[in-house]
Structure 1
Amino acid sequence: MRSKKMVYWAFLIPAVVIILIIIIVKLDTADNYISRAMASKAMALALTDKDGCLSSQKENGSHLSARMQEDWSAKYIDYLLEQGLLEEGTVTEDDYASSALTYGEAAFAAEQVSKGLSQALGVSRKKYNKPMPKEAWWLFYPSFLKAADKEQEVKEVDLLLYGTPDNVKEAAPWTAYTSEGIMGFEGLSMDSHIDREIRVLARNGEMIHLTEEVSEDVVYRNVWLAAGERDKMNLYIGTIIREFPLAKEVEEQESGVLADISLSRGKIKKLSLKTDTIEGKVLAVRDDSIEIEGYGEVRLDKDFKVYKTYGVVKEQKKKDILVGYNLEKFVVADKKICAALLVKSFSAKNIRVLIMDKGFSSIFHDQVILKADTPLTVEYGDSAERIEAGSELVIKKDDERLSKGRITVEPEDRQKGIKVLSVSRQQGTPEYFGCFEISRESKGLLLLNEVDVEDYLTRVVPSEMPSSYEVEALKAQAVCARTYAYRQIQANAYSQYGAHVDDSTNYQVYNNIESNERTDLAVKETDGEMVFYGDTPAETYYFSTSCGYSTDGTIWGADIKDVPYLKGISLTEGGGTDDLTTNEAFVPFIQGQGTKNYDSGYSMYRWSTTVTNKKLAEKIDGIGTIQALFVTERGTGGIAKTVKVVGSDGEKVLKGQTQIRNTLGAPELVYKKNDGSTMTDWSSLPSAFIAVDETARDEEKGTRTFTIWGGGYGHGVGMSQNGAQQMAKEGKTYKDILSFFYSGIEVRELTE
């Protein structure tokens, strides 16, 4: 009996092995061919990017069956059909995408891209209907790219793959988290390559082909590790959190630690903790270094990271390191900063302002001259000197003291200001509270005033709104200015120079006009208050005068859902909106007076001017003699969004209020205001709430004169300052005013 069993197994085992070999060979053979889905994606992304395929499908509709449209490859196949790279009528079966691409189909597509390209495939009649192996396809693909002239668009990229939907629960389908950022990988199998270094072909963040796995050993440098739950530790990398078995050295760290973590085949091989830190006020954030008070300029590690380590831990950006504040600890190793750890929440207490030169034309100065009625302490490097009260401190570009870095200047009596004799403003010689920093750049000297935000506002409010205005209007202005300043500090636009803003109309005009008791009172009585939409400080744009309507936040390209509080409204009791987006509705409105509203009593409520085609030709060339102007698109409130300029040899379209105002305006134009007075010497139109018509013509001289009817002064978004003044005159409070101009907001102090 036993011998019979042995004979049975002796025959059975070889038979099973043979069957398995046959199955494996068949599966391997089937898997060896490039699918139409993957080939379509590769061809489509050789010609355009993923967004281009989606846009084409949206514009032209789909050619595929309902079931096929559900497949990830549908947009690529549809794009190729639109471009004629797939033969009409060939995409009929629901399993088309998953089936193998034939040599003939590849040859047809190749010929559409470039005549004769199919010869690179060497397709014989016998092979024409044969499936094309993956290897053959990817050997041919570089030739396809070259013929499509897209070799620079599709790039080979080496990266570390650390997340897919397989190990990141919140990940969207086909989303890969990599050292090169978040990427797509539709159609590819990537899960087995997590924690590997791989090489891929990609275009605009979408992987096309996995060329090879470069290494199964990876090092994640400068990552944040912290103890998690159930003997696990969290690794914060990019925008995701990975879990690994808790290491003892990490468990010993109270709140977390920076480390280099080495992995082999996804398992931790080595942990190198980095625990040395420095801290101090950040003076400047540059491309490859950070200047820190007490340490000078410290270079950044090539894998420099920023982590928010309080509250919800997450990786941040370098732009989130605020100059002028001490909110971080900096982890250092080998004399370089490996990471900035944000350890405190931000509360806008001080602001750093670049003081521009005499004519607000540049942030750079040839020399700086300071003077005060109190002694000044001047520090540079390890040295310090005292400038007596009433004496001048003169700093020129070649000043030896600047060789030791930035010079700081502080008044002995902080209640007294420092005069800047080397610049002039509308008030004359300006005086500033706080301290100054002077640094040298290749283009000249930078003069930076660091000042308490509330002191800053006492110099902003009178420079932005007449101090004679009603106190409630001034208070509304103060709250707007404070909110705007808060957002600008966070925006950190001048971080490479160590500043947040400058003192010109690029941000808020600062210290152009002296402060006084009324504006100081407005700032004091609203101390700390800002405009919030939900928990976020709002974009509190403001402007001088409306035409009776404001416009919404989309004029600068914003999505209205991102700034829902910036709605275009009628400046009448209760607000409301009317449709003025057509010429038929807006032209009679702007040429007349409209309904009485909060701005209708001000001189800039209506204005008009004339301009000739000769004058316009100084800024608009290449279209011959200018013959006509048309407003072709209007936004909320009737603001002009596009203006067509028609010439004898062509046309040009002016887009956006900035281009429209700058192109149609000129200093020579004379404007007649609503009160009958005139003004001139304005380089741009007062606003883009305009209507245009030809009102005179001289055929002999070839001159055409266009009349521009306009209303308001400024961009028209947010709060009208004159509208706020009128509302205050009628008994409205500053909170009433702000709630009128910014929909759905709350006025309150910042809560940490």
Structure 2
Amino acid sequence: MNGKNKMIAWIAGTITVIILLAVLIVWMEPAKEGISRAEAYKALALVFADRQECESAEEQRQKSWFSDQEKDNWFVKYMDLLYEKGYLDPSLTPADLESAQKKLTYGEAAFAAEQISGRLKRQVGMNKGNREKPFPADQWWDLYRAILKEADPQGNVKEVEAILYGTPSNIKDAPSWTAYTTEGEYGFQGLALDAWLDHEIRFMVRGNEIAAVTAVESSDVVYRNIWLSQVKDGVFQAYMGAASREFTAEGKLAEEAKKTEAKLAPNLADLHMKDGRLTKVTVKKERIHGKILSVTDDTVEIEGYGKIPLDENFHVYKLYGDFSVLGAADILVGYDLQEFVAADGKLCAALLERPFDAKTIRVLLMDTGFKSLFHQSAEIKLNSGAEITYKNENGDDEVSRLNQGDVLKLTLEDERLQNGRMTIKPDGEEGITICSIERSQGQPVYSGSLEIKKESDGLVLINELYLEDYLKKVVPSEMPASYEKEALKAQAVCARTYAYRQIQGNTYGQYGAHVDDSTSFQVYNNITTSERTDQAVDETYGQMLFYNDTPIEAFYYSTSCGHGADGSVWGSGGEALPYLKSKQIKNGGRELTEEDNETFDAYIRSRKVTSYDAKYPMFRWQTELTAAQIGLKASAVGNVQDVTVTSRGLGGIAAELTVKGDQGTTRIKGQSAIRTFLGNEEAPIRKQDGSKMTTASLPSAFISIEKITDEAGSISFRIYGGGFGHGVGMSQNGAQSMAKSGKTYKDILDFFYQGAELKEN
């Protein structure tokens, strides 16, 4: 054999050896782990629908590809959805328990992928030799990510990173298939998670259901700002969110815990975990008390301390009654209900120690005409001696005195406002007149204290006063003082209940206020007080309306059309506010049903209706709009050809308006949006007494629309309407008529807030 042939033989032999080694390696390498069909198909179904949608589809479908004996298994709703959508073929993948528990094959993965795109099918790498073999789990998740890019462009399936701290295995009374994580609670049907307890994991979710755990990030984790309720015999009882869980210390940590049990709990602490074991406990004992002046997403301002940043893992723990975990928004400004735990210059937690008892309210005062929350300047006259406090450049309090008759003029440049808020506390009642604000009564006079704070858009003025004093300036601004005493007392109870809920709502927490003084809440101090309205407040002192021990949404409005609406006018189901019923506003008025909506057009056009409100001017009204006027607000539809109410809420209130034009159709949903859309200051409202008014918004959405076409072909729309306001809760003029007929304020409240209980708080 010559040298050339020897070289060829050597190369061929080498290649043969390499091929044989490769075959041997492949033959010896263990098969990659597969994934069960149930687990894979659950994840695939979540690409197209969340868990609740899958369950709803199963109920509506009223059939299953699985037998009656097997259709209650957790995976059935997911696989049925895929059978229905064509991503699963029952001839390829039988619908039974045994099949669902077996491994997903290359052929099945390719079939599902092909329904989305050919590219995805090619990614599977199926061939004749592997068609029936298990498809490796890691390749499935690679394919799954590719499926998400094509089939879920909206990103409904998201990836979350969190510490897993609980499942039904370690959380007592936990619902089945519930995973507790530092990012919230999730379902995990069909998945095994217990091995990753006390680990930081990455997982894919749609809605609140986990599709897959994609990575274990760390076994070294810290639970920060956890409430330790008890330590006994080395066992730490802790609240993880609202769930209670035990951690057992070992070795030296257990010995130390047994010696210092009394000092360890109850307290706030950081719990350090390694490989699922408790390794260290850091207790936080620094405490801060004080009245809350403002709350933002990342700071809390405390009287005497200023603004303090919140720790990233800040929690609010309610310690009285049933333990619960709240958020920063539940810290009420103007009150000192909590003790703060601090560390490293930040607030780690707020410990709510006692229930809220509304005694004071903080009102943000708007400018003249209620146009803005901000004032470019403020002129304040003292009606008695007063103490003024502000921060100097060192952050210390500067205190001085003002005399009766002194006038304080403040601008954005005032040095006394550069380092924090200024507080004015008069010695006497009605101690402050704000000369730079005009109200219906003239320059308003205020009780309580006044705070002035510089913000980027101007000065904010906050009046803090006793709730009962506040109500004495709300009731006459919301209901004429000449009304019957019982009607005024009903108004006082509603106003008190409404204010109580608004204090808890913390709408203006960032500025340190609960409400403003405009119609956005309750009009405050627009009209001077009177003896009659003061008596109405005093005679109902502390009384509020409750439903199931919770203060109700005591909505009220000016005038009914003879029908009242229920709480669904704001979008949620009426069952959320069961005490607000849609009913006839008359003696013995019955509850209204959907059937009443069918006759509503005739009802609202009639003036021969019996109602408590029937004699008031706004009980019935009319206005007329041209097609051109309506078209200005619906330009996309072209020339307006028709306007109809296409959906009504209970009581007949318009819920959806359809506007048709020669270029398209648009729909306006919700009573408020409809009133705004049809409102036009150039189209006067004619009341039933013949008087007229102009307004940018319709008085109510209790309307019927008549299309009118004149001889020239011009189109206009006559709107028949009734009532003034949203129609939910108490009609103020209805209450007045009831009081005139001898009804007490309790009778009035029972009528308008069905099932609510009057209690003194």
Q: How far apart, in 2, do the equivalents of 1:283 and 1:73 lie? A: 52
Instruction: Give the superposition deviation at 1:266.
Output: 3.3
Once the two structures are superposed, residues 602-623 of structure 1 have per-residue CA deviations (whole angstroms, 9 ceiling, x without a partner) of 1111111111111111111211
Instruction: Give the superposition deviation at 1:83.
Output: 3.0
Tell me the residue number matched to 2:527.
Answer: 513
- Superposed, 1:202-217 pairs within 5 Å as 202-217=205-220
8 Å Cα contact 2:232/2:261 also seen in 1: no
User: Does residue 492 in structure 1 map to residue 506 in structure 2?
Assistant: yes
Tell me the residue number matched to 1:70.
Answer: 72
User: Does residue 109 in structure 1 map to residue 112 in structure 2?
Assistant: yes
Instruction: Give the superposition deviation at 1:229.
Output: 7.8
Instruction: Give the superposition deviation at 1:743.
Output: 0.6
Q: How far apart, in 2, do the equivalents of 1:113 and 1:334 lie? A: 53
Q: How far apart, in 1, do the equivalents of 2:407 and 2:550 lie? A: 44
Once the two structures are superposed, residues 602-656 of structure 1 have per-residue CA deviations (whole angstroms, 9 ceiling, x without a partner) of 1111111111111111111211111111111111111111111111111111111
Q: Quick one: structure 1 residues 274 and 563, their matched pair in 2 at CA, closer, same or farther if it must change by over 3 Å?
A: same
Give the letter for the 1:108 counterpart: F
Give the letter for the 1:696 counterpart: T
Once the two structures are superposed, residues 274-294 of structure 1 have per-residue CA deviations (whole angstroms, 9 ceiling, x without a partner) of 111011000011111110000
- Which segments of 5 or more consecutive residues in structure 2 lack a partner in the other structure? 1-28, 250-256, 392-396
8 Å Cα contact 1:274/1:332 also seen in 2: yes
8 Å Cα contact 2:242/2:323 also seen in 1: no
Name the count of aligned residue pairs: 719
Tell me the residue number matched to 2:450.
Answer: 436
Tell me the residue number matched to 2:463.
Answer: 449
Give the letter for the 2:718 counterpart: T
Tell me the residue number matched to 2:748.
Answer: 737
With 55-64 and 207-216 compared, the bigger mean Cα shift is at 55-64
- Alpha-carbon RMSD across the aligned residues, in angstroms, is 2.1
Instruction: Give the superposition deviation at 1:469.
Output: 0.2
User: Does residue 395 in structure 1 map to residue 398 in structure 2?
Assistant: no
Q: How far apart, in 1, do the equivalents of 2:372 and 2:211 lie? A: 47
Q: 2:135 aligns with which of 132, 136, 155?
A: 132
Once the two structures are superposed, residues 391-416 of structure 1 have per-residue CA deviations (whole angstroms, 9 ceiling, x without a partner) of 22111112211111011111122x13
Q: How far apart, in 2, do the equivalents of 1:467 and 1:155 lie? A: 58
| SS at 1:252 equivalent | helix
User: Does residue 482 in structure 1 map to residue 485 in structure 2?
Assistant: no
Q: How far apart, in 2, do the equivalents of 1:711 and 1:661 lie? A: 12
Give the letter for the 1:495 counterpart: G
Q: Quick one: structure 1 residues 394 and 168, their matched pair in 2 at CA, closer, same or farther if it must change by over 3 Å?
A: same
TM-score norm. by structure 2 comes to 0.91
Q: Quick one: structure 1 residues 436 and 142, their matched pair in 2 at CA, closer, same or farther if it must change by over 3 Å?
A: same
Percent identity, please.
Answer: 49
Give the letter for the 1:610 counterpart: E
Give the letter for the 2:50 counterpart: D
Q: Quick one: structure 1 residues 379 and 102, their matched pair in 2 at CA, closer, same or farther if it must change by over 3 Å?
A: same
Q: Quick one: structure 1 residues 443 and 119, their matched pair in 2 at CA, closer, same or farther if it must change by over 3 Å?
A: same
Tell me the residue number matched to 1:715.
Answer: 726
Tell me the residue number matched to 1:684.
Answer: 697
Instruction: Give the superposition deviation at 1:658.
Output: 0.7
Tell me the residue number matched to 1:171.
Answer: 174
Instruction: Give the superposition deviation at 1:387.
Output: 2.9
Q: How far apart, in 2, do the equivalents of 1:446 and 1:76 lie? A: 55
Q: 2:420 aligns with which of 374, 384, 405?
A: 405
Instruction: Give the superposition deviation at 1:105.
Output: 1.8
8 Å Cα contact 1:698/1:704 also seen in 2: no
With 361-370 and 479-488 compared, the bigger mean Cα shift is at 361-370
Tell me the residue number matched to 1:121.
Answer: 124
Give the letter for the 1:116 counterpart: R
Q: How far apart, in 2, do the equivalents of 1:295 and 1:322 lie? A: 17
With 63-72 and 469-478 compared, the bigger mean Cα shift is at 63-72
Q: Quick one: structure 1 residues 206 and 584, their matched pair in 2 at CA, closer, same or farther if it must change by over 3 Å?
A: closer
Instruction: Give the superposition deviation at 1:74.
Output: 2.4
Q: How far apart, in 1, do the equivalents of 2:50 and 2:435 lie? A: 56
Instruction: Give the superposition deviation at 1:376.
Output: 2.9
Q: How far apart, in 2, do the equivalents of 1:401 and 1:133 lie? A: 70
Q: Quick one: structure 1 residues 298 and 555, their matched pair in 2 at CA, closer, same or farther if it must change by over 3 Å?
A: same
Q: How far apart, in 2, do the equivalents of 1:629 and 1:99 lie? A: 59
Tell me the residue number matched to 2:685.
Answer: 671
Q: Quick one: structure 1 residues 31 and 166, their matched pair in 2 at CA, closer, same or farther if it must change by over 3 Å?
A: farther
Q: Quick one: structure 1 residues 535 and 231, their matched pair in 2 at CA, closer, same or farther if it must change by over 3 Å?
A: farther
User: Does residue 226 in structure 1 map to residue 229 in structure 2?
Assistant: yes
8 Å Cα contact 2:232/2:258 also seen in 1: no
8 Å Cα contact 2:314/2:348 also seen in 1: yes
Tell me the residue number matched to 2:321.
Answer: 311
Q: 2:335 aligns with which of 325, 329, 336?
A: 325
Instruction: Give the superposition deviation at 1:583.
Output: 5.5
Give the letter for the 1:43 counterpart: L
Q: 1:616 aligns with which of 630, 636, 642?
A: 630
- Superposed, 1:225-624 pairs within 5 Å as 225-227=228-230, 232-245=235-248, 247-248=257-258, 251-253=261-263, 256-381=266-391, 382-413=397-428, 415-579=429-593, 584-624=598-638
8 Å Cα contact 1:47/1:150 also seen in 2: no
Instruction: Give the superposition deviation at 1:62.
Output: 4.4
| SS at 1:497 equivalent | coil
8 Å Cα contact 1:156/1:202 also seen in 2: yes
Once the two structures are superposed, residues 542-601 of structure 1 have per-residue CA deviations (whole angstroms, 9 ceiling, x without a partner) of 000101110111111233332110001111222212446565410111111354121111
Tell me the residue number matched to 2:253.
Answer: none
Q: 2:83 aligns with which of 81, 84, 87?
A: 81
8 Å Cα contact 2:316/2:326 also seen in 1: yes
Q: Quick one: structure 1 residues 587 and 30, their matched pair in 2 at CA, closer, same or farther if it must change by over 3 Å?
A: farther
With 473-482 and 551-560 compared, the bigger mean Cα shift is at 551-560
Once the two structures are superposed, residues 675-728 of structure 1 have per-residue CA deviations (whole angstroms, 9 ceiling, x without a partner) of 222222x1111001110011233546xx31101101100000000000000010
Q: Quick one: structure 1 residues 255 and 541, their matched pair in 2 at CA, closer, same or farther if it must change by over 3 Å?
A: farther
Give the letter for the 1:676 counterpart: G
